[in-house]
Amino acid sequence: DPLRMLRAARFAARFGLSIDPHLEAAASDLAEKITIVSAERIRSELDLLMMTTQPSIGLDFIVRTGLADYFLPELPALHLEQDPIHRHKDVLAHTWAVVDKTSADLTLRLAALFHDVGKPATRQITSAGVTFRFHEVVGAKITRKRMVALKYPNQVVDDVSRLVELHLRFHTYKLGWSDSAVRRYVHDAGPLLERLNELTRCDSTTRNQRKAEELSRRMDHLEERIFELRRQEDLDTMRPALNGDEVMTILGLSPSRDVKRALDFLMEIRRDEGEISKAEATHRLLEWWNDEAPPEPNGPKGAGVSG
């Protein structure tokens, strides 16, 4: 059974074993045989590997032997050739370090495994250095495609892809955590918030102690701000002050795209300003609608709506 090659990777990772060179050579010679194994069985074995004490031992084995080429080609692709002038960290080695640092949560560890898979496609070398612009967005798409191919449940695919997409979000807030910024971060992360925070912490593998301590302080500050704001308002179920039925009644609308636009407008207020009363929301909604409503066939824009 070719799956035994993956099982060897799992046992090595679980028990901290060294893999015999003859076994590794045999796995390299027979790696292509893994293609006769179903995606479901491969996924199941990968999941068991990801939950071991040190997954990187087994993951590195499947890359070295060429096994990953057949079901996780994104991993060997992370071994990027270095530019002789503008060097950057070894993305594959960094990925192993991040995976090993995360707690034994399958969704979190899969996100750690995939978090930088967008880097090969986005790497640019300029006179200023090496960049990987938007690699989190590209990586989320690559992650989704690979996980679907491995027959992961839809919810796991959604959660892991979302974590990959958001794994740099923390770093976009360099000027401090305003109430609005905290609300947006919490809202975007949703039920994945704790995992996202851990992934962000684990993604720091720098040997520069000063940088590591600075990131840790910033993460501590964010978590303190979330705690403080949760004491003042409901952050976990952020909703507009008015629901869809109320919006339709106030604006005289039937179910339509305009209702969604109105709810999005109210949600922006919720994220930017916090909780407001229904009366205030109604007033703001009517003002917005008088500016945004499409013109009526037989009357001026916003006709028939009064405050």
How does pLDDT run across 210-236, given as a tens digit for each residue? 988 999 999 999 999 999 999 998 888
Closest by Cα among 88, 64, 89 to 75: 64
Of 185, 201, 204, 203, the closest CA to residue 193 belongs to: 185
Q: Mean pLDDT for each consecutive 10-residue tract of the chain (307 residues)?
A: 96 95 97 98 98 97 98 94 60 95 98 97 87 96 99 99 97 82 93 97 90 91 93 87 96 94 95 92 95 60 44
Decide: pTM greater than 0.75.
yes
User: Tens of pLDDT along 267-302?
Assistant: 999 989 999 999 999 999 999 999 887 655 444 444
CA torsion, points 23, 25, 28, 29, in degrees to nearest 10?
Answer: -110
Q: How many other β-carbons are positioned within 10 Å of the β-carbon of residue 130?
A: 17
Domains, the chain, ordered by start? 3-72 (1.10.110), 77-232 (1.10.3210), 244-292 (no CATH)
Q: What is the pLDDT of residues 145-167, one digit of tens each?
A: 999 999 999 999 999 999 999 99
Q: Is 219 helix (H, G, I), strand (E, B) or coil?
A: helix
**Long-range CB contacts (< 8 A, 24+ apart) of 161-165?**
162/192, 163/107, 163/108, 163/111, 163/115, 163/192, 163/195, 163/196, 163/199, 164/111, 164/114, 164/115, 164/117, 164/118, 164/136, 164/139, 164/140, 165/136, 165/137, 165/139, 165/140
The pLDDT of residue 307: 40
Q: Is 115 exposed, middle or buried (0-12, 13-18, 19+ CB in 10 A)?
A: buried
- What is the model's pLDDT at position 67? 98
